[in-house]
């Protein structure tokens, strides 16, 4: 990890949502006129969208456009007046900066993302951009990925239980490991598989005490399984992580360049 810088605390105690807003607003300070942005998904990224919309409407950021990482973000960005581009058009214009939240951040700035279900488009867009600024409140900092909840894996619906079995084999014998298909409660169907924006399903992997071992090797083994589309470990992708601390200070953690 690179350098860290902290700012003084605002007065009064901030809620978790207010901390998310503080981190999001700090990230938007990196946006310059004319930039094409990767627009993240989730409650933290939503604060960045709102703030960007305010600045665009005030005429402060002419020429800024965004590539949305989910259908939800596409609707939100359109509502607040952020001009949108599809990823294919944006690669010509270069995505200069992506701003998104994360579910977990480890000491090497590796991330778990996708508990909101948007990991595939997030990884495509944030992987294509030059800089990736992650915005989190302090609760997202973890000693190891997989400490606080599920690590999601997007799989094609065909044979999903079979693919789930193959994913479990990667972690054979690991105490406390289990995995399951993410479900939602549907008014008509009862329990039904969660379906991503890409029409796929999500397998959730759970670890008793986080993932121990070589993350890159685990990533490679997961991606070699036919039926797995992508997983929610974002390794070496974040260039800056902006952390809003419980005491109201903001810390920026930097990596010199993206590893992928
Ligand atoms: O990866 C994501 C969505 O797929 C989100 O960035 C992640 O779940 C964090 O969400 P929030 O900002 O609501 O805590």
Q: What is the mean pLDDT of each run of 10 residues along the chain (260 residues)?
A: 54 87 97 97 98 98 97 98 89 86 97 97 96 97 97 98 97 92 90 97 96 96 98 98 94 78
pLDDT at site 88: 86
Q: Give the whole-angstrom CA distance, residue 70 versus residue 67.
A: 9
- Nearest-10 Cα torsion for 234, 239, 245, 251: 160
Residue 228 corresponds to which tokens in the numbers above? Answer: 């797995």
CB of residue 136 inside a 6 A radius of ligand 1 = no
Catalytic residue list contains 208:
no
Domains of the chain in sequence order: 4-141+235-254 (3.40.50.1360), 151-229 (3.30.70.260)
The closest-lying atom of ligand 1 relative to the alpha carbon of residue 44 is 12
Interface predicted TM-score (ipTM) over 0.90: yes
Residues 6+ positions from 190 with CB-CB distance below 8 Å = none
Q: Which residues are paired to 34 by β-bridges?
A: none
112 CA distance to ligand 1 middle (Å): 9
Question: For 85, which DSSP code?
Answer: -
Q: Is the Cα torsion angle 122, 128, 129, 132 positive or negative in sign? A: positive
pLDDT at site 13: 85
Pocket probe mutation, ligand 1, options 17, 74, 101, 133, max atoms within 8 Å of Cβ: 101
The closest-lying atom of ligand 1 relative to the alpha carbon of residue 42 is 13
Nearest residue (CA) to ligand 1, atom 10: 42
CB of residue 110 inside a 6 A radius of ligand 1 = no
Which residue in 18, 32, 104, 122 is the catalytic one?
122
181, 154 contact by CB (below 8 A): no
Question: For 117, which DSSP code?
Answer: S
pLDDT at site 260: 57
**DSSP strand pairing (111-112 vs 65-68):** unpaired
Three-state secondary-structure class, residue 77: helix
pLDDT at site 1: 54
pLDDT at site 210: 96
Q: What are phi and psi of 115, to 5 degrees?
A: -65, -20
């Amino acid at each position: 990890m690179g350098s860290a810088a902290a700012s003084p605390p605002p007065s009064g105690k901030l809620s978790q949502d207010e901390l998310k807003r503080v981190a999001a607003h700090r990230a938007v300070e990196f946006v310059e006129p004319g930039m094409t942005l990767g627009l993240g998904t989730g409650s933290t990224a939503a604060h960045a969208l709102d703030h960007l919309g305010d600045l665009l409407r005030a005429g402060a950021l002419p020429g800024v456009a965004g590539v949305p990482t989910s259908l939800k973000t596409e609707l939100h960005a359109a509502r607040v007046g952020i001009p949108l581009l599809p990823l294919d058009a944006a690669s010509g214009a270069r995505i200069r900066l992506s701003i998104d939240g994360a579910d977990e951040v480890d000491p090497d700035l590796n991330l778990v993302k996708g508990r909101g279900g948007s990991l595939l488009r997030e990884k495509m867009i944030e992987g294509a951009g030059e800089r990736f600024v992650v915005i989190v409140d302090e609760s997202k900092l973890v000693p190891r990925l997989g400490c606080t909840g599920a690590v999601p894996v997007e799989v094609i619906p065909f044979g999903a239980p079979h693919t789930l079995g193959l994913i479990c084999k990667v972690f054979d014998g690991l105490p406390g490991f289990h995995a399951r298909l993410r479900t939602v409660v549907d008014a008509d169907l009862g329990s039904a598989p969660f379906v991503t924006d890409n029409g796929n399903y999500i397998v959730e992997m759970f670890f008793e005490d986080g993932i121990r071992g070589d993350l890159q090797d685990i990533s490679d083994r997961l991606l070699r399984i036919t039926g797995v589309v992508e997983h929610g470990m974002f390794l070496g992708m974040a260039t800056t992580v902006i952390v809003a601390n419980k005491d109201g200070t903001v810390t920026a953690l930097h990596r010199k360049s993206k590893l992928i």
